[in-house]
Amino acid sequence: MSKHAEPEPVVAHIVVKFLDGHAPPYPGDSATPVHGTGPAWSELAAEFPDVRLRPMFTSAEPQRIRDLVAQGRRQDRTYEPPNLLSYFVVDVSKISVAARLQQIVRHLPNVEVVYFDPLGEDPTVAPGDDLRFPQQGYLKPAKDGIDAIFAWNFAGGDGALQEFIDMEKGWQLDHEDLPTNGASKLHGNILDSSKRHGTSVLGEVCGVDNAKGIVGITPNLAKVNVVSYYTSTRPDAMLAAINALPFGGVLLLEAQLPSVSNGTHTFQKVPIEVQRADFDVIRLATALGITVIEAACNGTNDLDLVTDSNGKFVLDPNHADGRDSGAILVSAAKSAVPHVRLATTNRGARVNCYAWGNNVVTTDTTEAKYRDNFSETSAAAPIVAGAALAVQGVAQAQGFRLSAYQMRQLLADKANGTPSADPFNDAIGVMPDLYKLLNSPQIGIAPDVYVRDFVGDDGAPHGGAISASPDVILRSTPVPNPTAAFGAGSGTENDDTLGDIALAGQDNFVYVRARNRGGSAAAGAKVDVYWAPLSSLPTPDSWTRVGSATLASVPAADVLTVFDAITWSAAQIPASGPYSLVAIAGSTLDPSPQIPAGMSFDAFRKLIRENNNVTWRSFNVVDIEPTVGVGSTKVVPLDFIVGAAPDVDVMMDVEIFARLPEGSRVFLEVPRELYERLSYALPAVPSDEPRSGLLIPMNPHGTRVLHNVHLPRGARFATRLMVHVPTKYRDNAYQAHVRQVHEGLEVGRVTWRVARKRRDVTPH
C-alpha cells in the first residue's frame, strides 16, 4: 500500500485578478489546473505542473456574492464594484518560487492584477506576563478614555441589539468573561497560538458584566461571532462576515500585512487594504452599511508614503492614487494624558482614530485569565469598535441606524474626540469620546442643559455676547409662581429686561431659567449663582457665591424651565446697585464645569466659550433721566469695572458701542492709570467728578475701539460710561455696551438699556 506525501503547508498566496468578463468560471471551492485557463498558460503549467488556480471566495455561493454587490450598489451610489468573481488564488508552499510565478502570470493575457500576498498576521503585541488587574482606564471619561461609562446610561449604549464580528486567527470562545449567547466561529480554522490575541480583543469589546474580572465597552451585544483567515484568505474570511452582518453591523479587522514591496522598497507591517482584493471586499462591506474597523498596524510608517506592489500611493487620500475603502483606520497612543503616539504605530492622513495602545486590561487565555498589558493597534482597534457599537446602539434605540460613512464621519470628527499630544505631527486622528458623540447633533440623546448668553442663543457654540443672559433674573421681592412668571407660556420667555438692581439692607432673590436641547431629560439638575462687582470682565477671582437651587429634571426639547428662587441674603449685598451675576447649571449626566481656585485666564476663556451651561448677566435697565453734569451737559452715569486677567498681563481691546438718537452724547470716564495704558493718546478732558478721571468722547451712533490696552494682571479699573439723550427722545429705550476683546475673541461685556423707569408688575 503506497503512502502519499503530506502536502506542503501554504506560506503565502499569489492573488490573480482577471479582467472583468475574461475570468474562468467559478467552480465552487475546487481548484483548477492552470492549463485549464487557456493555451497561453502552457509555459506556467510546464514549469509548475502542480500549481492550481482556486477561487478566492468560497464562503458564499457566487449568486450570493452577486446579490451582495447589487445590494451595495443600491445602497451606496458612489460604489463602483469590481467583479469579485474574477479573483483567484495560487497557493505557494515555497517563497523561493513566488517571484517566478508572479513574473510569468503578470505577462499572461486577460490578467488585470497579480500580486504576492504573504499570510496576514495579527498586529504585534508587546511582550509581558504581568497579570495585575488595575482599573480599565480606557472606559473612563475623556481625556483619559472614551467614556463608555457615560454611554451605559442610555438605551443601546451597552451595545444592545447590535451585531459584531471579529476577524483574526484564534480565540478562546468559552472564556468565563466572554458572551455565552452563542458566540461562534463562522468561517476558517482556529490557530491555537493566536487564541490569546483574539480573546483579549473580544474582552475589550464585549466582556460580560458578571463580576468575574473585566467588563467590555459594550457588554450586552445581541450577537458576537468570529471569522478566521487561518487556512483561508483574508478576503474570503471578510466575505463570510459580510454575508452574516446586517446594515449597521461592525466588523473588526485584526490583521496586518507583514510587508509589501514595490520592487525598490519594502514597507513592513501595513494595513491589509493595501492589497487590492482586501480593499475590494472592505469596500463592499462599507457599501452595504457595515462599519469596518481596521488596524492601522505597527510598522512605524507614514502611510502617505507607503505604496502597493505597483508603486501606487493607495493610502494617501490627497494623492491621485489614493483610494478610500470606507473603513475606519485606527492607530495607537500611550494611555497617559496627553496621549503620545506610540513610536511603533503607523500614521498618516488616512488614519481616522486612535485609542490606548498600552496598559489595556482585558481577558487572557493564561491560567490567571486576565492581563493588563495588551497593547499597540491590536488593543486600540477594539476600543474604537466598542465606541462604534455603543453609538450604533443608541442610534437604533432612537429608531434609526448609521451607515458606515456616517459612523466614520462621527468618530473621526475632531469635535467628538480627544486629540493626541501633537495632532499635526502625530497624524493619528482623535480618540472617540462617547460623551461628545452622544451629545453631537447627529445623535443628540444625551441631556444638554444650557442657560442662554443672550436672547436668541440656542446653546450651540457661538462667538457672540456672553454676558447678556435673559435667564438670570434678580428680583428685590420674591415671585409667588416663578414658572408662571418666567417659564414657558409666560410671555416673558425672550424678555431680557426682567431683572432689578440689587437693594441693600434686605434679602434679594435670583431666578435662573434653563433649557435642555438634548434628547433625554436632565435628571438631578442644579444651578449655582455667584455675584461680582459689575464688570466687563468678571473673572472667577472676583466671584462670591450666592447659593444654589435644584430641580428633579429639566425636560428635553428646549422647554424653558425655571429653578426656584435662590436667596441673596442682605448680609451679602455690599450696596444697592447693579452687579454681575454668574450662573452655572448642570445635571447628573451633564455635569456643570468645575471652577478651581486660582483659575488661569486661559482656562477662563475656555470655560466661557466651551460650556453652554455657564453664563452671566451684566445687563441692567437704568433710568434715562440724567443725574450728573459733564460741563453744561447732563448725563446718566453707568458705573462698571474694566477687568484684567488674574494671572498674566494682557493686551485687550475695549470696545464701546451705543446706538442713540440725534443730538446724544457719550463719554467714557477712565481713571488716569488706565488712560496711561492706552496704546495711543486720545483727546480727553478732566472730569468734573471727584474721582479726577479723564473723559474721552465716544461715538453715540456706533462703535469706538480702544486698541491694545495694556492691562496688568489682577487690575480692576473703576470706569463710567456717561450717556446723554435729548429730552425729546427720552420716551424711547436705547442700548449701549462695553466689551473686552482678547486676541479677537470677546471675553466679557456689560450692557445697559437706558429707558424710562418702569413700574414693576409681576406676572401671575
Confidence label for 46 from pLDDT (cuts 50, 70 and 90): confident
Helix (H) or strand (E) holding 292: strand 291-295
Instruction: Provide the grid cell at 660.
Output: 442713540
* Residue with grid cell 472667577, as numbered in its chain: 540
Cβ neighbour number for residue 462 with a 10 Å cutoff: 14
pLDDT of residue 762 exceeding 50, the answer is: no
Q: 290-341, pLDDT tens digit by residue? A: 999 999 999 999 999 999 999 999 999 999 999 999 999 999 999 999 999 9
Amino acid sitting at position 667: F
Q: For 520-534, 577-591, 682-696, 720-734, which range has the lowest pLDDT when averaged over its residues?
A: 682-696
Q: Which residues pair with 636 in a beta bridge?
A: 723
Task: Give, as one character, the DSSP assignment of residue 336.
Answer: S
Q: At a CB cut-off of 8 Å and minimum separation 6, what does 460 contact? A: 612
In terms of phi and psi (left: phi > 0; alpha: psi -120 to 50; beta: otherwise), the region of 110 is left
* SS3 per-residue string spanning 512-539: EEEEECCCCCEEEEEEEEEEEECECCCC
pLDDT tens for each residue of 360-393? 999 999 877 899 999 999 999 999 999 999 999 9
Evaluate the CA torsion angle 685, 686, 689, 695 in order and state its sign.
positive
Mean pLDDT of 42-69: 83
On whether the CB atoms of residues 163 and 372 are closer than 8 A, the answer is no
How far apart CA 88 and CA 13 sit, in angstroms, is 10
Residue 39: partners with Cβ closer than 8 Å, 6 or more residues away: none
What mean pLDDT do residues 538-561 have?
A: 95
pLDDT digits 0-9 by tens, 151-187 = 999 999 999 999 999 999 999 999 998 987 667 899 9
The predicted pLDDT at position 127 comes to 28
269 and 299 in contact (C-beta within 8 Å)? yes
Strands 430-432 and 417-419 come out as antiparallel
For residues 395-420, b (16+ Cβ closer than 10 Å) or e, as one string? bbeeeebbbbbbbbebbbbeebbbbb
Which of helix, strand or coil describes residue 234?
helix
Q: Report the candidate in 452, 466, 464, 450 with the shortest Cα–Cα distance to residue 618.
A: 466
* Residue 688 Cα distances to 193, 370, 376, 453, 692, angstroms: 90, 80, 72, 36, 7
Compute the distance between CA of residue 35 and CA of residue 49 in angstroms, rounded to an integer: 9
CA distances from 762 to 63, 629, 728 (A): 75, 34, 29
| Span of 170-184, 251-265, 648-662 with lowest mean pLDDT | 170-184
Radius of gyration of the chain (CA): 34
Reading the block at residue 702, the C-alpha cell is 456706533
Q: What is the pLDDT of residue 128?
A: 33
More confident residue, 269 or 464: 269
| Angstrom distances, CA of residue 24 to CA of 33, 105, 116, 723 | 11, 15, 20, 90
The CATH fold of domain 449-618: Immunoglobulin-like (2.60.40)
Q: Transcribe 603-657 into DSSP letters.
A: HHHHHHHH-TTEEEE-EEEEESS--EEETTEEEEEEEEEEE--SSS-EEEEEEEE
Q: How confident is the model at residue 135 (pLDDT cuts 50, 70, 90)?
A: low
Q: Report whether 469 contacts 483 (CB < 8 A).
A: no
CATH fit for domain 12-118, picks 3.30.360, 3.40.50, 3.30.70, 3.40.1420? 3.30.70
Helix (H) or strand (E) holding 277: helix 276-287
pLDDT for res 2 = 41
Mean pLDDT, rounded, for 523-535: 97
* Cβ 629 vs Cβ 667: under 8 Å: no
Torsion sign (Cα): 597, 567, 584, 612: negative
In this prediction, residue 27 carries a pLDDT of 64
pLDDT digits (tens, 9 = 90+) for 63-88: 999 999 999 999 998 999 999 999 98
- CATH no. of 622-755: 2.60.40
Determine the Cα–Cα distance for residues 428 and 329; give it in Å rounded to an integer: 9
Q: Residue 266, exposed/middle/buried by CB under 10 A (0-12, 13-18, 19+)? A: exposed
The full set of domain ranges for the chain reads 12-118, 137-439, 449-618, 622-755
Choose among 627, 624, 616: nearest CA to 728. 624
The model's pTM is 0.81
Q: Is the pLDDT of residue 133 over 80?
A: no
CA-CA distance, 371 to 134, in Å (whole number)? 9
**Which band of pLDDT confidence, cut at 50, 70 and 90, is reported for residue 125?**
very low
**Domains 12-118 and 137-439 belong to one CATH topology:** no
Task: Measure CA 49 to chain center.
Answer: 56
Sign of the C-alpha dihedral computed for residues 219, 141, 420 and 429 taken in this order? positive
Buried b (16+ CB within 10 A) or exposed e, 64-81: ebeebbeebbeebeebeb
Q: Kindly report the average pLDDT of the chain as a whole number.
A: 90
The domain defined by 137-439 carries CATH number 3.90.180.10? no
Residue showing cell 437693594: 503
Distance between CA 186 and CA 196 in Å, rounded? 19
Q: Where are the beta strands (DSSP E) in 377-438?
A: 417-419, 430-432
Contacts of 193 (CB under 8 A, 6+ apart): 170
Residue 581: its H or E element: strand 579-586
Pairing type for strands 734-742 and 650-659 reads antiparallel
Q: What percent of the chain is predicted at pLDDT more than 90?
A: 75
657, β-bridge pairs: 703, 737
Mean pLDDT for the stretch of residues 198-218? 91
For the chain, the residue count is: 764
153 vs 514: CA distance, rounded Å? 22
Query: In 3D, which of 36, 54, 34, 56 has the Cα closest to residue 105?
Result: 34
Give yes or no for a contact between 281 and 253, defined as CB atoms under 8 angstroms apart: no
124 DSSP 8-state letter: P
User: Considering Cα of 456, then 461, then 464, then 470, what sign does the dihedral take?
Assistant: positive
Contact (CB, 8 A) for 473 and 500: no
| 3-class secondary-structure state, position 332 | strand
